[in-house]
Structure 1
Amino acid sequence: MKALTIRQPWAGAIAHQMKRVENRSWKLPAKHEGSRILIHAGAQRDRNAIVYGDHLDVYSAIVAIATITGCHFDDGNQVCCSYWAEPGVYHWTLSDVVALPEPVPAKGALGFWTPDEDTVNAALRQDTGVAW
């Protein structure tokens, strides 16, 4: 199972606030479409982000599990897929997001990365199947 590191508050917004699009400057590799992934809150906060709410102060931990359902480019010429979507970037769409009751500490990496077996198992044990 792969993980994707996302800075806070965005990782928390995916886990707890119905953010179902991840904005990226690069296209989703086709092999990851339809994959179930771990959402990892990075060690640093996005200093330009303004998002309010609970669960946004967890760092260096797996905070959710999600399925990547697709990817498209937003050229900025139309209203796109989500309130959270930014123009001029790729939008990776997410579904079946399950917030973990207890974040699983883990060191992340850029791009997709493979967590160790203990980390994956600790996250999967918390998958309640109740999607946000």
Structure 2
Amino acid sequence: MSAATLPEGDWIRGISIKQPYAAAILAGAKTVENRTARWRTGWVLLHTSRTIDQPALRVPLISRTIRDRALVTGAVVGIARITDCHQDPAGAPPCTEWAQPNAWHLVLDDIQELPLPIPARGQLGPWRPSPDLLSQVFQQLPDFRP
């Protein structure tokens, strides 16, 4: 698939996620990403930030989820669709074991891991990927249709 066959306009963003949380998402276990602000629904490139949350590696939920997975940093490693963004009601149990209290929970579906990570720079908050980066991503996902 070439960039020419992708939709026009502002249909996809990038989201930068620290490791090991990105690996847990790609493993299919972590289906929510916690953020301090509301995000819109739609497609996102999954980008790993340059840092690894070292203390998180000792959390049993995380360590058993990411066992034997590479912790790639500074690269686009997959794509996902945000299908909902919500906060849990006060006093309610968390929507998943990965949800943090008082955070916005980005519900991730249609998660697809890239066969090869693509080195790239991300940033805080939603960011707009370049046409060249999108072209590289979708060369690896020839059957992807937004």
User: Tell me, what secondary structure is at the counterpart of 1:2?
Assistant: strand
What are the equivalent positions in structure 2 for 1:47-86 lying under 5 Å apart? 47-50=54-57, 51-52=62-63, 53-75=67-89, 77-86=91-100
Contact in 1 for aligned 2:28/2:111 (Cα 8 Å): no
Higher mean alpha-carbon deviation, 102-111 vs 15-24, is at: 15-24
Partner of 1:40: 47
- Which structure dedicates a bigger proportion of its chain to helix? 2
Q: 1:87–1:129: structure 2 CA closer, same or farther, 3 Å change rule?
A: farther
Q: Distance in 2 between matches of 1:88 and 1:69?
A: 19
CA–CA distance in structure 2, aligned partners of residues 95 and 120 of structure 1:
19
In the superposition, the TM-score normalised over structure 2's length comes to 0.78
For structure 1, list consecutive stretches of 5 or more residues without a partner in the other structure. Answer: none
1:8–1:65 CA distance, 2 compared to 1 (3 A): same
TM-score w.r.t. structure 1 length?
Answer: 0.85
Change (3 A) 1:46 1:128: farther
Query: 2:37 & 2:45 partners in 1: Cα distance?
Result: 19
Unaligned runs of 5+ in 2: 1-11
**1:75 Cα offset (Å):** 4.6
Say which SS state the counterpart of residue 112 (structure 1) adopts: coil
The 1-side partners of 2:68 and 2:14 are apart by 22
Cα deviation, residue 129, structure 1? 5.5
Give the number of the structure whose alpha-carbon radius of gyration is greater: 2
Q: 2:36 is matched with which residue: 5, 22, 25?
A: 25
**Identity across the alignment (%):** 36
Alignment coverage as a number of residue pairs: 126
Aligned equivalent of 2:101 = 87
